[in-house]
Amino acid sequence: MADTYFAYALFRIELPAHRKHHEKRGETSYKAMTLVAIGINHKTASVALREKVAFGPDILDEALKSLASASKTNEAVIVSTCNRTELYTNNVDAEQAIHWLSEFHNLDEAELRSCIYLHQGEKAVQHLLRVSAGLDSLVLGEPQILGQIKKSYSDAKAVGTVSHTIDRLFQHTFKVAKQIRTDTDIGASAVSVAFAAVNLARHIFEDLGSAKVLLIGAGETIELVARHLGEQGATDLIVANRTLSRAEGMADEFGAKAITLAQIPDHLPTADIVISSTAAPLPILGKGMVATALKKRRQQAMLLVDIAVPRDIEAEVGELENAYLYTVDDLQGIVQKNMANRLEAAEQAEAIASAQAHDFVEWLRGLDSVDTIRQFRSQSEAVKKEALVAALNKLQQGSDAEAVLTELANKLTNKLIHAPTQSLSKAARAGDLESLEILRRALGINDN
């Protein structure tokens, strides 16, 4: 063992002077061999660039194997969604990983670098924890990203690019994400108009599975509403749209029935919940149509949620008894209040992510100390065995026992203190007080 590595051998401490010496020679230090996370997301890159950097199912296996081959531990996980692409590796040079990403997608490296974020060590762990908890998402606290990360981990495991450290990292991530969801209100409040509409319906109708829902429109907002309704147990859906084929396309995805706008009067009386979002210039539901429907329902209550601008439902509908009308302005108020609640919860979640990232890195360092202590003990045992064998041979040859024991003690002491003595002398001569103090602590030297 090199003299200047005595303290390192005990506690994986690399002396500052020695580290500088290695950096001058261009060698990779221990601290460079760590967890790495690089990526781009909706905050750093345009949709056009995110599309170019994405990893589809057809190239993912090849990409994982190629990226993992650059790691000394053959570990890699790729997270690729519409809003982000991120690489997680272990024991790989960060610059090499960035170059790999640009080369794999045949992109201009300078353009890519301008949009990339890089995290290493504890910061990489903290970033993954933040992403999994929805703290780095377009919609704060959204839960879908955790499922996407779990799938990315499963895909990498199936390919064989998940080993001990990355495996523990992602298992830890899933545990912490669950803890954040349980211990904070990060995902408790609706922060999109579509989710707020469904949340409102869920509070009025305790069991959405028994409610009949009429969705008017077939655009992105209504599609999101339908998705949220399905997550909340709603199964009886009707989709009404000006173009029947568009309504049928969405209805097929959600197991719903498709109708035209002209057929709404026939189906409105059966609807417990009506949610509308079209681009129509004039209202689709008037006071008279809703009044007729309520009469056929024998005044059974109806919830109507209008999230269109301009309005799809006449404001006068709200004057009808048993018609409960909410507009996009009502929902925006709910969203703003809930966003404030999520921001407060996000502070708690950030604290959990930071503490848990630190704990994980401490665990990694613990593994290093176990390996180092094992090596140090093995080396010390070898020194002891060599000295003991020599002493026993001398005793068998009839040498004086007291002289043999004295020689054994002297040789053991000299061999065990040789390396640290050299390191202490070198640090003292160089005036390197920091290294000298590290060695003193490692050797248990005190002024008393």
**pLDDT at residue 10, as a whole number:** 35
Q: Which of 1, 82, 392, 395 is catalytic?
A: 82
Distance CA 302, CA 311 (A): 18
For 2, counting Cβ atoms within 10 Å of its Cβ (0-12 exposed, 13-18 middle, 19+ buried), the class is exposed
Contact 336, 307 (CB under 8 A): no
**pLDDT at residue 30, as a whole number:** 34
Annotate 52-79 with b (16+ C-beta within 10 A) or e (fewer): bbbbeeeebbebbeebbebbebbbbbbb
CB neighbours (10 Å) of residue 150?
A: 15
Tokens 């009044």 correspond to: 291
Contact 48, 40 (CB under 8 A): no
Active site includes 115? no
Write the DSSP symbol of residue 313: B
Looking at the DSSP bridge assignments, the partners of residue 33 are none
Q: Sketch out the chain's domains with CATH numbers.
A: 33-183 (3.30.460.30), 193-337 (3.40.50.720)
Residues with Cβ within 8 Å of 397's Cβ and at least 6 positions away in sequence, in order, are none
User: Residue 216: enclosing H or E segment and its boundaries?
Assistant: strand 212-216
Distance CA 264, CA 105 (A): 49
**pLDDT at residue 139, as a whole number:** 74
Q: What is the chain's pLDDT, residue by residue, as a tens digit (448 residues)?
A: 333 333 333 333 333 433 343 333 333 333 334 899 999 998 899 888 998 999 999 999 999 999 999 888 899 999 998 889 999 999 899 999 999 999 999 999 999 999 999 999 999 999 999 999 999 987 778 788 899 999 999 999 999 999 989 999 999 999 999 999 999 988 776 567 888 888 889 888 878 999 999 999 998 889 989 998 998 899 999 999 999 999 999 999 999 999 999 999 999 999 999 999 998 989 999 999 999 999 999 989 999 999 988 899 999 999 999 999 999 888 877 777 777 888 888 999 999 999 999 999 888 877 766 667 777 788 888 888 888 888 899 889 988 989 889 988 888 888 888 888 888 888 888 888 888 888 888 888 876 5
